[in-house]
Chains A and B, each alone.
Chain A
């Protein structure tokens, strides 16, 4: 759509600008402020320059958390995106069963995140949880509070349980938009199932899949509540992701300077990766002429 140039449109954007500036710019400036100052208490601050940034960059703590975070996001994206597409391909196309599946699949998405944590915390316990009890009964030594692999497996399965439906629903929406004529043409050409997927369904889903990847990447990179409720970041530090570490530092130990420096670098990493996704996405939009 060709838009007209109109500078007065700024007035329409103004309310959003004021609101988001109040709730984003002011707090962000506070963070920047803390990141370059030090204190001996009593609200007396003095200039510390880039000291905190240097300290954080040279400590293992942040790098370890970043490594775990990247591993976590990579694993859940690698599972959720293909699984979501697979589920979407198998969903009923219309009628009662389509609504039925949609409603049930959306259910995990609207459960408060700490309740998601509670559900899996209970579900995985060897004494009262179905999953833990069953695994224990068939002889698998499973204890997510003690064992590194069990903790990671629990956190990942929980995230797959929680968010695969979002990917599936997006992919499903993409599939619904493909006109029947495409499938008929493929049938006349006697295209195989794989070719139909590769050359018709996948390209048509690309736009919504990019949204899915962007949303899932952002949210998994900021994950806090669910793993915190289940494992508390343990055993040891093995499931301490960036947000968990940050909250521990800022609200637990009240190390404002390092926490602020940490925050800014954390934000910049997310911003950078999201910008890449966003650019790819808008280019896809333009190419499709949407």
Chain B
């Protein structure tokens, strides 16, 4: 026991004589990684910067001169979007159907994930894979049938239609993520709670959900993410009342050509909600992206 405890210390002792070169050798890879990360982040941010840059320019400046930053700083493009209901209603529509989708997804996925993580039942493995296949279904395949289905039940051009359509790929993903987190909670907790006289719903809400709170957060994050970025289905299922911002952006193509400044400003504003969400979940991102399997 004492031998093993000493081993790391003993190993570091001879190193002390040659400390200077060892430090130099250790510092080199750190510097290398800083260079790599800087290059990668510049690669990621440059296109976004360019969009931001364009959104703060006038169309004359965009088209007639090539400038690395706005010489003639203007917020007129943002003013156009934030004062015109045809523009800003797109943001509201998007946020409404994304929120509905997140709520529906969590409500149905939580009990299902619990069942998959705790019990064996007839056909459970097949059911789980079948659910996942819906995450793999190309939206292009579903665009037309969805249009017909939701038209026939009079849900076309409503927020709920888009929210339900997005459940197609968000629910399976949420079940998958939550199941991963729930597997990490020991079963003894359930059994103790039942012995203590908790009913299932009370146990689930009062004891179990707080235990997997980070998992619920991660599932909500992913549901938000995939619903917010999707365009093909949300555009196919809406025309006026529930039109998402992403589809509204095609409006900038007018008779006088493309209004680049407004287009860029609209683009920048679609990045903002995502950036806010990321900021709030930043400490869970790494674990979250591993879907609870680390």
Contacts and interface: CB of A to CB of B under 8 A. Distances in A.
B193 to A, nearest CB: 15
Interface in A8-37: 8-10, 12-13, 15-17, 19-20, 22-24, 26-28, 30-31
B260 A128 contact: yes
A44 interface: no
Interface stretch (B71-79, B81-89, B144-152, B207-215): B144-152
Interface in A247-273: 247, 250-251, 256, 259, 263, 266-267, 270-271
Contact of A122 (B51, B133, B231, B285): B51
Contacts, number: 285
A52 interface: no
A270 B260 CA distance: 38
A231 interface: no
B5 interface: no
B145 A28 contact: yes
Given A30-B149, A102-B286, A130-B50, A15 B108 contact: yes
Contact of B267 (A28, A119, A131, A247): A119
A23 B228 contact: no
Nearest to A107: B275
Contacts of B11: 187-188
A161 interface: yes
A223 B130 CA distance: 22
B119 A3 contact: yes
Contacts of B240: none
B289 interface: yes
B286 A23 contact: no
Given A169-B289, A208-B290, A15 B112 contact: yes
A4 B141 CA distance: 38
Contacts of B46: 123, 130
A199 interface: no
B209 to A, nearest CB: 14
A43 to B, nearest CB: 11
B165 interface: yes
Contacts of A152: none
A49 interface: no
A87 B38 CA distance: 10
A83 to B, nearest CB: 9
A274 B229 contact: no
Contacts of B108: 15-16, 19
Contact of B121 (A9, A87, A218): A9
Nearest to B111: A12
Contact of B37 (A91, A285, A290): A91
Contacts of A211: 290-291, 293
Contacts of B121: 5-10, 13
Interface residues of A, number: 97
Contacts of A87: 36-37, 40
B1 interface: no
Contacts of B124: 9
B278 interface: yes
A92 B34 CA distance: 8
A99 B46 CA distance: 20
Contacts of B267: 115, 118-119
A104 interface: yes
Contact of B228 (A31, A104, A110): A110
Interface string A161-194: 1000110011011101100000010011000000
Nearest to A204: B294
Contact of A208 (B116, B228, B294): B294
A99 B278 CA distance: 10
Given A87-B36, A122-B51, A112 B45 contact: no
A80 B102 CA distance: 29
B115 A114 contact: no
A172 B289 CA distance: 9
A108 B44 contact: yes
B54 A122 contact: yes
Contact of A222 (B8, B138, B149): B138
A122 B54 CA distance: 9
Contacts of B183: 1, 290
A259 B143 CA distance: 11
A3 B41 contact: no
Given A1-B117, A27-B146, A247-B143, 20 more contacts: A5-B121, A13-B115, A30-B149, A90-B32, A90-B40, A91-B37, A103-B282, A104-B44, A107-B44, A108-B44, A112-B231, A123-B47, A127-B63, A128-B62, A208-B294, A218-B136, A243-B232, A246-B141, A250-B140, A274-B132
Interface of A: 1, 3-10, 12-13, 15-17, 19-20, 22-24, 26-28, 30-31, 86-87, 89-92, 99, 101-115, 118-120, 122-123, 127-131, 133, 161, 165-166, 169-170, 172-174, 176-177, 184, 187-188, 207-208, 211, 218, 221-222, 224-225, 242-244, 246-247, 250-251, 256, 259, 263, 266-267, 270-271, 274-275, 278, 285, 290
